A and B are shown apart, each in its own frame.
Chain A
């Protein structure tokens, strides 16, 4: 395999951090209705910060290795996010979500393989 383990770990970790970015943006967004100045808040800063932080890991990880392996790993973030959405926001886990997410992961894998 031409994809080093370090790249795989970097990308998986990036997807993990990035999924928390989405969680914090969601937390921060709930206060928006009470005034748009709430766009500047601690959860928002944490959300944006985690996104930027995850990008560092993606860039470092994607520099070496095969996109066909690494692209699907980037989209692992969707799976983490599904877990957090149920855990933190009590969003229901439905068949549609599992099926939709599964297809998205397969599609991203195909594009990754097609880009090699």
Chain B
């Protein structure tokens, strides 16, 4: 394999594409957490207030950070989609639910319960089965 070709230009392997979208889910989870923090900082969350002064959003650093994360998320997703199967890459994004569930417990002190725990396990299982799929 030629090492002179950057990953941006060569075809990514199946595993690399899946690894890329898994990376996306970490960034997507960070985005959701940041946006939740940011949304809480806006004193008046009514749509009318934001429309009246859209600059409020620009000064909200967590919210801007969250949006930036979504930008990076989309860029990486595009590269994962380029060489991976849409039907495999896209559902892997569901892993975001898993990270957000854990992060919400650590950061917002939400509680874990049996339903959430089952959900986390079943999603991870589903993604694992999807990633195993090798029909071509």
Contact residues of A between 75 and 92, Cβ < 8 Å to B: 75, 77-78, 81-82, 84-86, 89, 91-92
Interface size on A, residues (CB 8 A): 45
Contact partners of B118 in chain A: CB under 8 A? 107, 110, 114
Interface of A is mostly: helix
Does A57 belong to the interface (CB within 8 Å)? no
Give CA–CA (A94, B6) in the complex, Å. 32
Contact residues of B between 113 and 136, Cβ < 8 Å to A: 113-136
Give the residue of B78, B97, B125 whose beta carbon is less than 8 angstroms from that of A32: B78
Does B109 belong to the interface (CB within 8 Å)? no
Does B4 belong to the interface (CB within 8 Å)? no
Give CA–CA (A102, B102) in the complex, Å. 22
Contact B116 A110, beta carbon cutoff 8 Å? yes
Contact A85 B85, beta carbon cutoff 8 Å? yes
Contact A107 B90, beta carbon cutoff 8 Å? no
Contact A103 B86, beta carbon cutoff 8 Å? no
Interface string of B96-114 (1 = CB under 8 A from A): 0100010000000000011
Contact B86 A84, beta carbon cutoff 8 Å? yes
Given the interface pairs A107-B94, A110-B118, A111-B120, the reply to whether A82 lies near B87 with Cβ below 8 Å is yes
Contact A115 B116, beta carbon cutoff 8 Å? yes
Contact A30 B82, beta carbon cutoff 8 Å? yes
Does A23 belong to the interface (CB within 8 Å)? yes
Contact A78 B91, beta carbon cutoff 8 Å? yes
Give CA–CA (A103, B130) in the complex, Å. 10
The contact sample of 20 A-B pairs, CB cut-off 8 A, is A25-B74, A26-B82, A28-B78, A32-B8, A32-B79, A32-B82, A77-B90, A78-B91, A91-B85, A97-B133, A100-B128, A100-B131, A104-B94, A106-B122, A107-B120, A110-B122, A111-B115, A112-B119, A114-B113, A114-B114
Give me 14 other A-B pairs in contact (C-beta within 8 A), A48-B74, A107-B123 excluded. Answer: A89-B85, A93-B87, A96-B135, A100-B129, A103-B122, A104-B91, A104-B122, A104-B126, A107-B118, A107-B124, A107-B126, A108-B94, A113-B115, A114-B118
